[in-house]
Amino acid sequence: METMAACPIPAHVPPDMIGNFSLFSSPGLEPTPNGDPQAASAVVHDGPRIFYSPVNTRDGKGTWVITRAQDQRRVLQDPETFSSHRSIFASALGESWPMIPLELDPPDHGKFRSLLNPLLSPKRVMALETAVRERASVLIDRIAASGTSCDVMTDFAFPFAVNIFLRFLGLSDDRLDEFVGWANDLLHGDNVKRPAAARTIVAFIDELSADRRRQPVDDFMSFLVQSRIDDRPLTDMEIRGTGVLLFIAGLDTVAAAIGFDLNYLARHQADQQWLRDDPKRIVLAAEELLRAYPTVQMIRVATKDVDFEGAPIRKGDYVSCATMIANRDPLEFADPARIDLAREDNRHTAFAYGPHRCLGSHLARREIVVGLEEWLKRIPTFRIKAGTAPVTYGGHVFGIENLILDWSQEDAA
């Protein structure tokens, strides 16, 4: 886990607007046994509406932290002032090409979004559901047959989420563990592992696109290399930027969401039983769990000087819109710290907001719902295994490890 040191504070930041908060290393956000990093991030609601944190760092710079959901929506809906092009991935290589469409601004963003939307539309996701459910069933049946406990992240959440991603790319499961390792090094590794993983992933995407140019099949990469934007083929860099985004988005976030959800249900037996009593409740419950346990921090970079709710944001400043902060905003949600699986009218921003709202949100939702449905259908009442402690952490993508669940009678006693 990368340690975040304080960065120099720009001269334009007023001293009374500086806050010592980090989504990487504040209490409860560093690796913590039995932690709750989303709840720990909500501490910012006790302070100012917006502040500058020199320890919430991104590429050697601090960030402005936006604490109110309505203010985050304003930032995320204004790409002319708050650009999404900040080269999160390429910066690890000392380069500046964008992940597409996430790091493109209008009008180019809309062109690529229109190209890709049909691939992850609700209709396409419905067509994938049989395969998604089959994969969940096979994994859980294997777990159930092998004993009365498991490491959920290793045995289910990652293999499930990554398999769906591999199927989308048209690849087999043969390299599943290898891909998960790359993602962990990229998203959670140190200053040595992160650039090495980035180089490996770029080489993989470039090689795959070259293979599909020579011999196309019915998969995502073949679609990309045969697509056209503005009546021209996509460039090699555009194909790389799109492929890299899909690779990263497909590997970590859904698995983390399923892990946080099962961690919650293991600790709240009444809610677990409530879902077992009527599985139709899982769809609504999944939305509340997305609100309570989102995993992503969106970073924007100011394109010009702007005063935003009294904050003198200057061109080049980073602005953090963390989903876990917006989703615990007491001005947005009644009793935001309480997890209410029957909560309705749930305007959470787990999938971001505005033009860059998550392209894969429909698929992610179905993966989470199907994963919970099949788990509860096949695994008896479960809890955290005695003597173990899941480890949670904040960061670019929040996560959970060592989640050992047990459904043996001995553990219950």
| CB atoms near residue 184 (< 10 Å) | 17
Q: CA 136, CA 370: separation in Å to the nearest integer? A: 7
Q: What is the DSSP letter of 296?
A: B
The answer to whether residue 411 sits within a structural domain is: no
The answer to whether residue 3 sits within a structural domain is: no
85: CATH? 1.10.630.10
At residue 1, the pLDDT reads 32
Q: What is the DSSP letter of 175?
A: G
Structural domain including 105 reads: 15-406
Q: Looking at the DSSP assignment, which residues form a beta bridge with residue 63?
A: 53, 318
Q: CA 122, CA 101: separation in Å to the nearest integer? A: 19
β-pair type (50-58, 61-66): antiparallel
At residue 193, the pLDDT reads 86
pLDDT per position as a tens digit, 358-391: 888 999 999 999 999 999 999 999 999 999 999 9
pLDDT per position as a tens digit, 157-212: 988 988 887 877 777 778 878 887 887 787 677 778 888 988 998 999 999 999 99
The answer to whether residue 2 sits within a structural domain is: no
At residue 252, the pLDDT reads 79
User: pLDDT under 70 in the chain at which residues?
Assistant: 1-5, 58-59, 187, 410-413
Q: CA 116, CA 245: separation in Å to the nearest integer? A: 12
118 residue type, one letter: P
Q: How many domains does the chain contain in total?
A: 1
> Is the CB of residue 366 less than 8 Å from the CB of residue 129?
yes
**Of 267, 320, 257, which Cα lies nearest the Cα of 291?**
257
At residue 90, the pLDDT reads 78
The answer to whether residue 6 sits within a structural domain is: no
The answer to whether residue 8 sits within a structural domain is: no
At residue 407, the pLDDT reads 98
Q: Which residues of 1-32 are buried (b: 16+ CB within 10 A; e: fewer)?
A: eeebeebeeeeebeeebebebbbbbbebbbbb
At residue 3, the pLDDT reads 40
The answer to whether residue 4 sits within a structural domain is: no
Sign of CA dihedral 283, 287, 290, 292: negative
At residue 231, the pLDDT reads 93
The DSSP result for 221-246, as a single string, is HHHHHH-EETTEEPPHHHHHHHHHHH
At residue 5, the pLDDT reads 61
The answer to whether residue 64 sits within a structural domain is: yes
Q: CA 239, CA 221: separation in Å to the nearest integer? A: 8
Token duo for residue 83 = 């650009």
